[in-house]
Amino acid sequence: MVRGPRTDGDARFSLDHTLEEKRMAKSFDAIVIGTGQSGPSLAVRLANSGQKVAVIERARFGGTCVNTGCIPTKAMVASARAAYVARRGSEFGVEIDGAVRVDMKRVKARKDEISGQSRSGVEKMLSETPNCAVYRGHAHFVSDSDIEVTGEILTASRIFINVGARAAVPAIRGLGNVTYFTNSSILEIDFLPPSLIVVGGSYIGLEFGQMFRRFGSEVTILQRGSRLLGHEDEDISSGIRDILVNEGIKVQLSAECIELSNAGSEIVAGTNCSDGSSVRGTHLLVAAGRKPNTGDLGLENTKIKRDERGFIEVDDELRTTVPGVWAIGDCNGHGGFTHTSYNDYEIVAANLLDSDKRRVTDRITAYAVYIDPPLGRAGMTEAEVRRSGRRALIGRREMTRVGRAVEKSETQGFMKVLVDAESKQILGAAILGTGGDEAVHCILDVMYAKAPYTVLQRAVQIHPTLSELIPTMLGELKPL
């Protein structure tokens, strides 16, 4: 197939001929655009099933989670926790001579090492997979079935879009006049910001805010809404706020009218346009949401539809509006997490290769917020259960009444569970407390099993753990 204008007879024929050869479409069974959390696994699975696959990556292999998301941030959260625990040493009878200081160069080097291993692992896996051609460059659609990358045209009857998302930079007054970090650029610093203003009170802003506070920065979190993590229940939002405030983080809610300016070496963030109140900091992190990488994908050359926020529209099996094209991971707006992106791969692979009908709607919402102690979440919130109007039961237990938390001197937070009064199935749970990100899985798994809560209530859990109190909590359910 020849694409692009021919200029036979032109003096530059040989040059045009070479260009044209380059533009001859290379045919594959499948093309995967992006190497996030679903594309690489899908590419390998397809290639191992005998299909000829092309994978295209324009930046770093492994995408957000590996390079600027989960892995580097959790590596740094671990460094921050080490500093926090060291400072609390005397509470546990451990004396440290001298002050606890954080070496940001070593924090960064450790993070880079962990992230780099993951990145090279993805690249190696793809480049060593037979039947899998790896292209480095920006891919864009030139038609429903043709992709251009570095001047070459690739064509396939199946195309999988795994282009992910990036930090959204909202229209904040004065933002253009000040220097600011996003979740990507703040990971590159190897120094301690003396004072950090964080715009955004959702999980990314909170994780960075607490981490830098523990490294030693003064931290102020500005949140437009009336509470942190506005989609969580109010008791979770206020519990998280307490945890952060207890560590000396300033949390300013209802900062509806933010205006930024420079004042010498500092940044001033006006937070209320009517009373003139403001906060100051040496550095600024904008963590105000994510935006799908679909604007420069050439979708205007296709019949692939996007919604008003730019997410690619997909059905329950992740098919776009063009037959033979799927959108997986954050770019379809149905997840926003590594585990949901990976599950997208599983759904597509099961449907295409295993004749196993799996669907997005089989998935139960689950995630963690990696402040410390973490929040583990599964299923519906209490507010969602109330709105649903069904008859429900609720159980709740404070971390002060969990032996394991007391032994560790980590008694902040609580856990709660919601149960359908008729079916006895668990509707949702939140565990804000030490080990909550892990313990929530015993509830999640019972939800997947669609078993009544009594199965978990009668389970004999290991002592001493946080999980052992989940059956106890289930034995004390009250009407919601």
Ligand X SMILES: Cc1cc2nc3c(=O)[nH]c(=O)nc-3n(C[C@H](O)[C@H](O)[C@H](O)COP(=O)(O)OP(=O)(O)OC[C@H]3O[C@@H](n4cnc5c(N)ncnc54)[C@H](O)[C@@H]3O)c2cc1C
For ligand X, the binding residues (CB under 6 A) are: 33-38, 56-59, 63-65, 68-70, 73-74, 138-140, 162-165, 183, 204, 293, 297, 329-331, 336-339, 341, 370
| Smallest distance from ligand X to CB 140, Å | 6
Please, which residue, 156 or 165, has the CB nearer to ligand X? 165
The residues facing 435 across adjacent strands are none
Pick between residue 259 and residue 317 the one whose CB is nearest to ligand X: 317
Active site residue 441: no
The DSSP output letter for 459 is: -
Shortest distance, position 135 Cβ to ligand X, whole Å: 8
For every residue of 116-139, which 3-state class applies, written as one string? HHHHHHHHHHHHCCCCEEEEECCE
Contact 211, 296 (CB under 8 A): no
Quote the least distance from Cβ 216 to ligand X, whole Å: 20
Q: Are 375 and 240 in contact (CB under 8 A)?
A: yes
User: Torsions phi, psi of 213, nearest 5?
Assistant: -60, -45
**Helical H runs in 3-101?**
13-23, 39-48, 63-67, 70-87
Identify which of residues 337 and 414 has a Cβ nearer to ligand X in the complex: 337
- Is residue 384 packed enough to be buried (19+ CB in 10 Å), middle (13-18) or exposed (0-12)? middle
Strand, helix or coil for residue 187: helix
| Active-site hit among 138, 231, 334, 463 | 463
Least Å from the CB of residue 236 to ligand X: 17
CA dihedral 37, 42, 45, 47 (to 10 degrees): -120
By CB atoms closer than 10 A (0-12, 13-18, 19+), residue 405 is: buried
| Nearer to ligand X among residue 71 and residue 392 (C-beta) | 71
Q: How far is the CB of 259 from ligand X (least distance, A)?
A: 25
| CA gap 21, 360 in Å, rounded | 41
| N-to-C CA span, the chain | 65
The answer to whether 379 touches 365, Cβ cutoff 8 Å, is yes
Distance between CA atoms of 266 and 262, rounded to whole angstroms? 6
> Which one, 340 or 457, has the nearer CB to ligand X?
340
**Nearest alpha carbon to residue 57 among 133, 153, 144:** 133
CB closest to ligand X, residue no: 164
Strands 165-167 and 278-281 turn out to be: unpaired
Between 41 and 129, CB nearer to ligand X:
41
Q: Which is nearer to ligand X, 4 or 336 (CB)?
A: 336
> What three-state secondary structure class fits 443?
helix
Rounded to a whole number of angstroms, the minimum distance from the CB of residue 97 to ligand X is 35
Name 11's Cβ contacts closer than 8 Å, sequence gap at least 6. none
Q: Tell me the closest approach of the beta carbon of residue 239 to ligand X, in angstroms.
A: 19
Question: Annotated catalytic sites, by residue?
Answer: 463
